[in-house]
Chain A
Amino acid sequence: MTTRFAMAVDTVRCVGCNACVIACKTENAVPEGGFRDWIAQEVHGAFPDLSMQIRSERCNHCAAPSCVDACPTGASHVAQGGVVAVARNKCTGCKACIAACPYGARYVHPEGYVDKCTFCLHRVTQGRAPACVETCPTRSLTFGDLADPDSPVSRLLRSRRFTVLREESGNRPQVFFLA
């Protein structure tokens, strides 16, 4: 089977510290004001009966990516392992993909092209973990190949309950939030 990269985010372990965000910014030289990943906190209930979910979020590298469909130039494409990527030289910065993405995962780089999470493909193709995964102090992030049933991410998704964000979009997101 072909490689299908995915990520599991353990919301039980995550404290929302932003280490993933800073590590991503330095690893990928993300410009000021741009984010390839971020922290979401979702609070429910009223004092004192409260619950909160903390999520490290990023591009969901959807199996049916609406951003790729929306791209008029073919810059947004599905790369190795199902990673949704942007070919900078083909991107005109028209923002059709930004409008089409249900997750707000893309931003316009000051150099004019649209930028987003690549799952650190430059690292994972060398057998290294994405920068966010590598630094996460709570080990909340697990990256791997869903096509390999023995990969840590496959195992986690078999053993834990999980949800995806905006399932109704039909995008088939590949980032899974463990509860």
Chain B
Amino acid sequence: DRNRVEDPGTDGDRVVASYCELCFWGCGVLAHVKDGRVTKVTGNPDHPLSKGRLCPRGAGATGLLYDPDRLKRPLVRTQKRGADVFEEVSWDAALNKVGEGLLELKRRHGPEALALFSHGSGGTWFKHFMKAWGSPNVGAPSYAQCRGPREAGYLLTYGTPLGSPEPIDLAHARVITLIGSHLGENMHNTQVQDLADAIGSGAQLVVVDPRFSVAASKARYWLPIRPGTDIALLLAWMNVLVEEKRCDAEYLAQHANGLEELKAHVAGKTPEWAAAITGVKAELIRDSARFIAAARPASLIHPGRHTTWYGDDTQRARAMAILAALLGSWGRRGGYLTFNKMGLPPYKVGKEMPHGGKGAADKPRNGGYPVAGEVIASGLCDAATPGHALYDLKGWMVYGCNLIQALPSRKQTIEAIQNLDLLVSIDVLPAEICGWSDVVLPECSYLEREDDVLAPPWREPFLALRQEAVPPLHESKPGWWIAKELAGRVGLGDYFPWKDAREYVDARLTLGRHDVAEARRRGVVLGKVGPVCEEEGLAIELGTDSKKIELHSEELKRLGFDPIPNYVPQEEGPAGHFRLLMGRAPTHTFGRTVNNRLLAEPYPENEVWVNAEAAKALPGFPGPLRNGERVWLVNQDGARSGPVRAKVTQRIRDDCVFLVHGWGQGAKRLRYAHGKGASDAELVTRYKVDPIMGGTGMSVNFVRLEPVGRTA
């Protein structure tokens, strides 16, 4: 029969519910298993974050599971550190070596000399290990290299950081303002779903970005701002709101402190003043301000996520938070909500955790970063260089984060590494950091393991289960097993009394009086939905000491910082150079997915975006740079990356270039990604530290383009 329907037969014989870890949003997935293989991964309709839909990375999970370059067996370094030369050893030999190294470290320097860098859900087992071990040095680049300034800015203004997933009401906002955030390319599934629903129901966008992002292409107003001048724009917007009495006066009178100081501060900071600084026309600034104000309180200033740009980032986040307050959107529908977490009792360990003496070693010896709410990963890195911090770090465990690309200044990171007595990495793939490690422990991917229950705050609170779809491939092992085995080798076995992660999770679910079998079948337990904003009956409560929104921050004043944000000009680059900006592509999660062959199909490597006019006459080029031509990127200090394809486009200003982060991998055992594209991280030889919270502003580097083939 010629009309026979070809069925590719990818539906599973078994479908296992779990939650995704191709990024850290944690969407619910269904893994289809047939003949012992995962054929496809689809969205779990019951899960509040995915609602049955997955982004490309989530759908591309099999590309990670079956990546031929995965770490297969434990590795022990045989040559000098960084040579990336190892021998394969048994698990017993590798764990014994790590155990001995840890005990030696503790004997000589105390337990605090060990730090854990952890990004990913399996990291909870190693965090537990660190508690039992007695070290407070647990951090992740996701704070001081990513969302930290935002957390500090909102903490100072509203008394609470935002966390992840952000409690924002995209779905009900009538106007959504994105400031340097390229949601849609930055693919946080639920937020993109909500954004599309908002657009579908007529919500309008205002997008501030030097690049004509996907979001900008859908915006009512696009403000192609000169990089580094966002605070000037935000102050001018406030000026329009205040001068034209477009603020929510009643809301501010009830909930905010410092309105008079703010009014005085923004007087004179007119759109005309900001136009000269930002390169955005005064009329466009004024019109967009009025447009944003007209939709209040359902006028959402999106808080952004990757916010470590120029070193004054907490102040920029403050300006955004203050603007949101003027709109009366905190605590209101279409603005910022209050989500709840579903509680779950802890597993009863039955042994007291040791009470540590020392605080974390993440800050310089002479102090600093008074508003840091989490441990600063770059500070933990610096603390390995002797004499920098209050005490020195001598050992690192690195779980699932490639510090070589995640931290600024590769040179500084490598210097720190060379001071360590012990560097152990736990990873699924041979990331660059693995090449610098003494011992590499291969973890299995999320589809091959059980982890702790995930219970993020959300409109609809829930518990989500991580479940093994197929047994670990090769000789990889789940994080829970590695942590437990390690604990046993350093005398901490009593802190890991569970047989395995499954027993651990079942015990917690049972203590919480949940139906374990049903939870495992469905992959998720849904909690009660309560009111999340004033319109639903939830009174606005502020977490600040004053119980008010701090438009003018007494705390910052006391600490010696500007109580209301000021625009301070950024340093410009050398002639012929472009400011280097970085961002995301929807198919990738930093460097974690660049080796994924499935995801590489639509997006095989990154490109450097160059303005089409600027590309016509680049210094050192014999003629116009052609679209698709490969170039080197060379920064102000001579660091180079590439060759990378040029995307010659009208979609970016002529004073900056743009790269998607994660490419230009130096790890030679990532056979697909190795040497493809360019690394923005390699070009971040300079960074500017945010004095308020320790974030590392990385968009302060400048590059020139160099034709390929002319390299000295």
Interface residues of A (CB under 8 A from B): 10, 12-13, 15-19, 21-23, 25-29, 32-33, 35, 38-39, 43, 45-48, 50-52, 54, 74-75, 77, 79-80, 85, 87-88, 90, 118, 121-122, 125, 131, 134-140
Q: Assess whether B598 is interfacial by the CB under 8 Å rule.
A: yes
Contact status A29-B8, CB under 8 Å: yes
Contact status B5-A138, CB under 8 Å: no
Contact status A125-B5, CB under 8 Å: yes
**Given known A26-B40, A26-B62, contact A137–B193 (CB-CB < 8 A):** yes
Contact status A15-B200, CB under 8 Å: no
In the complex, chain B residues whose CB is within 8 Å of the CB of A121: 5-6
Cα(A71)–Cα(B646), bound, Å: 40
Other than the given A13-B199, A32-B601, A122-B8, 5 more pairs (CB < 8 A) read A12-B218, A22-B599, A47-B212, A48-B212, A122-B5
In the complex, chain B residues whose CB is within 8 Å of the CB of A140: 196
Cα(A79)–Cα(B200), bound, Å: 33
Smallest Cβ-Cβ distance to A75: which chain B residue? B2
**Which of B185, B193, B601 contacts A138, CB < 8 Å?**
B193
Contact status B5-A80, CB under 8 Å: yes
Smallest Cβ distance from A56 to chain B, in angstroms?
11
In the complex, chain B residues whose CB is within 8 Å of the CB of A38: 602
Smallest Cβ-Cβ distance to B183: which chain A residue? A15
Contact status B224-A47, CB under 8 Å: yes
In the complex, chain B residues whose CB is within 8 Å of the CB of A29: 8-10, 39
Contact status B10-A17, CB under 8 Å: no
Contact status B8-A17, CB under 8 Å: no
Contact status A18-B200, CB under 8 Å: no
Smallest Cβ distance from B464 to chain A, in angstroms?
18
Interface residues of B (CB under 8 A from A): 2-10, 39-43, 52-56, 58-60, 62, 184-185, 187, 189, 192-193, 195-197, 199-200, 212, 214-215, 217-218, 222, 224, 586-587, 597-599, 601-603, 611-613, 649-654
Contact status A18-B587, CB under 8 Å: yes
Contact status A17-B55, CB under 8 Å: yes
Most central of A10, A15, A38, A39 by chain B CB within 10 Å: A15
In the complex, chain B residues whose CB is within 8 Å of the CB of A18: 56, 586-587, 602-603
Cα(A159)–Cα(B213), bound, Å: 28
Smallest Cβ-Cβ distance to B586: which chain A residue? A17
Smallest Cβ-Cβ distance to B53: which chain A residue? A137
Most central of A77, A131, A135 by chain B CB within 10 Å: A135
Cα(A90)–Cα(B60), bound, Å: 32
Contact status A26-B59, CB under 8 Å: yes
Contact status B2-A90, CB under 8 Å: yes
In the complex, chain A residues whose CB is within 8 Å of the CB of B2: 74-75, 77, 87, 90
Cα(A134)–Cα(B3), bound, Å: 24
Smallest Cβ distance from A47 to chain B, in angstroms?
5
In the complex, chain A residues whose CB is within 8 Å of the CB of B217: 50-52, 54
Smallest Cβ-Cβ distance to B61: which chain A residue? A26
In the complex, chain B residues whose CB is within 8 Å of the CB of A77: 2-3
Instruction: List 8 A-B pairs, minimum CB-CB distance, nearest first.
Output: A138-B196, A15-B184, A17-B586, A52-B217, A26-B40, A122-B7, A22-B59, A18-B56
**Given known A21-B56, A50-B212, contact A43–B650 (CB-CB < 8 A):** yes
Smallest Cβ distance from A84 to chain B, in angstroms?
12
Contact status A47-B611, CB under 8 Å: yes
In the complex, chain B residues whose CB is within 8 Å of the CB of A19: 53-56, 58-59, 586
Contact status A27-B10, CB under 8 Å: yes
**Which of B39, B54, B195, B200 contacts A135, CB < 8 Å?**
B54
Smallest Cβ distance from B687 to chain A, in angstroms?
29
Contact status A137-B39, CB under 8 Å: no
Cα(A46)–Cα(B3), bound, Å: 49
In the complex, chain B residues whose CB is within 8 Å of the CB of A136: 53
Cα(A37)–Cα(B603), bound, Å: 14
Contact status A39-B39, CB under 8 Å: no
In the complex, chain A residues whose CB is within 8 Å of the CB of B602: 18, 21-22, 35, 38-39
Smallest Cβ distance from B655 to chain A, in angstroms?
12
In the complex, chain A residues whose CB is within 8 Å of the CB of B587: 17-18, 22
Contact status A33-B218, CB under 8 Å: no
**Given known A74-B2, A138-B196, contact A22–B56 (CB-CB < 8 A):** yes
In the complex, chain A residues whose CB is within 8 Å of the CB of B218: 12
Contact status B653-A47, CB under 8 Å: yes
Contact status A26-B598, CB under 8 Å: yes
In the complex, chain B residues whose CB is within 8 Å of the CB of A137: 53-55, 187, 189, 192-193, 196
Most central of A17, A38, A45 by chain B CB within 10 Å: A17
Contact status A26-B39, CB under 8 Å: yes
15 A-B pairs within 8 Å (CB atoms) are namely A15-B192, A19-B55, A22-B60, A23-B42, A28-B10, A45-B650, A46-B650, A47-B650, A47-B653, A47-B654, A79-B3, A80-B3, A121-B5, A135-B43, A139-B197
In the complex, chain B residues whose CB is within 8 Å of the CB of A138: 192-193, 195-196
In the complex, chain B residues whose CB is within 8 Å of the CB of A45: 650
Smallest Cβ-Cβ distance to A125: which chain B residue? B5
Contact status A27-B586, CB under 8 Å: no
Contact status A118-B5, CB under 8 Å: yes
In the complex, chain B residues whose CB is within 8 Å of the CB of A47: 212, 224, 611-613, 650-654
Cα(A38)–Cα(B602), bound, Å: 8
Smallest Cβ-Cβ distance to B279: which chain A residue? A48
**Which of B39, B214, B654 contacts A54, CB < 8 Å?**
B214
Smallest Cβ distance from A156 to chain B, in angstroms?
11
Smallest Cβ distance from A26 to chain B, in angstroms?
4
Smallest Cβ-Cβ distance to A17: which chain B residue? B586
In the complex, chain A residues whose CB is within 8 Å of the CB of B10: 26-29
Cα(A16)–Cα(B187), bound, Å: 10
Smallest Cβ distance from A69 to chain B, in angstroms?
16
Smallest Cβ distance from B594 to chain A, in angstroms?
15
**Given known A13-B200, A122-B7, A137-B54, contact A22–B598 (CB-CB < 8 A):** yes
Cα(A15)–Cα(B182), bound, Å: 11
